[in-house]
């Protein structure tokens, strides 16, 4: 998949990207590919599928999650900047904090973020447990995003102190999630999860590989 194909698929699925946003995504993809040879930011076995399996995957949330204007968002364990950087490029109005515990990765993500020119895209090197315990960040976010980070119950434990009462965890998951869901419901009986199977016109890979987006709220904050 190339940039033109990414734009076509996004447009077919209601995800509107302007030319300058496409250029920002292209630059991010180029830098991520270059640095991934030196630091393991994303899986090297599918770096050749970066546009589809990483950028488009990140952007897929915009089809299923209604994010209000100027929402405050946090990307838990962003790794190489996913899903936070593509989401911030596509939605420059939102405030996005990228959190990464590994110093080497955090420095590179800060570089990628700076090159987008987005004032509301910031990076913090910290363990998410530390962030959750910091009063500055407690109940500060409308959405917490997490992709390929931890089991659902762990993500809920990390994100709940960070989310506003009406906030939601958006977790990217694949494969069999039944056990994860059972464990999460047992730990959080008030949990409400909306499961979206990713179905993108022009990109059957997501449905074929059982990729899903889980929008998780506690019933007391629904």
Query: Tokens for 149?
Result: 């980070």
- Can you tell me the distance from the alpha carbon of 186 to that of 168, in angstroms, rounded to the nearest whole number? 18
User: Per this entry, what is the length of the chain?
Assistant: 222
- Say what the pLDDT of residue 220 is: 62
What is d(CA 200, CA 202) in angstroms, rounded to the nearest whole number?
A: 6
Residue 178 CA to residue 10 CA, distance in Å, equals 29
Q: Which two tokens stand for residue 188?
A: 């959080």
Residue 187 burial (CB count, 10 A): 13
Alpha helices in the chain (DSSP H): 3-12, 19-36, 57-59, 61-64, 84-90, 103-116, 128-133, 152-159, 178-187, 205-208
Q: What is the CATH code for 3-221?
A: 3.40.50.150
Span between the terminal Cα atoms of the chain, in Å: 38
Beta carbons of 191 and 216 less than 8 angstroms apart: yes
Give me the residues of the chain with pLDDT under 70, please: 220-222
Q: Give CA–CA dist 206/8, Å, rounded.
A: 16
Cis amide linkage into residue 83, ω under 30° from 0:
yes
pLDDT tens digits, 74-121: 999 999 999 999 999 999 999 999 999 999 999 999 999 999 999 999
pTM as predicted: 0.95
- SS3 at position 15: coil
Domain ranges for the chain: 3-221
């Amino acid at each position: 998949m190339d940039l033109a194909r990414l734009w076509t698929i996004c447009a077919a699925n209601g995800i509107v990207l302007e030319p300058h946003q496409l250029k920002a995504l292209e630059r991010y993809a180029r830098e991520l590919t270059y640095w991934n040879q030196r630091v393991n930011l994303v899986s090297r076995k599918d770096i050749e599928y970066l546009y589809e399996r990483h950028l488009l995957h990140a952007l897929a949330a915009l089809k299923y999650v209604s994010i209000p204007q100027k929402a405050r968002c946090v990307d838990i364990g962003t790794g190489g900047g996913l899903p936070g950087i593509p989401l911030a490029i596509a939605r420059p109005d939102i405030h996005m904090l990228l959190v990464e515990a590994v110093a080497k990765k955090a420095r590179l993500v800060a570089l990628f973020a700076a090159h987008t020119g987005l004032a509301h895209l910031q990076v913090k090197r910290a363990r998410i447990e530390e962030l959750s315990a910091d009063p500055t960040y407690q109940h500060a976010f409308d959405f917490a995003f997490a992709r390929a980070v931890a089991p659902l119950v762990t993500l809920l434990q990390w994100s709940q102190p960070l989310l506003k009462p009406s906030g939601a965890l958006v977790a990217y998951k694949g494969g069999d999630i039944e056990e994860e869901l059972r464990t999460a419901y047992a730990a959080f009986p008030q949990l409400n999860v909306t499961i979206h199977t990713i179905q993108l016109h022009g990109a059957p890979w997501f449905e074929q590989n059982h990729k899903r987006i889980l929008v998780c709220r506690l019933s007391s904050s629904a």
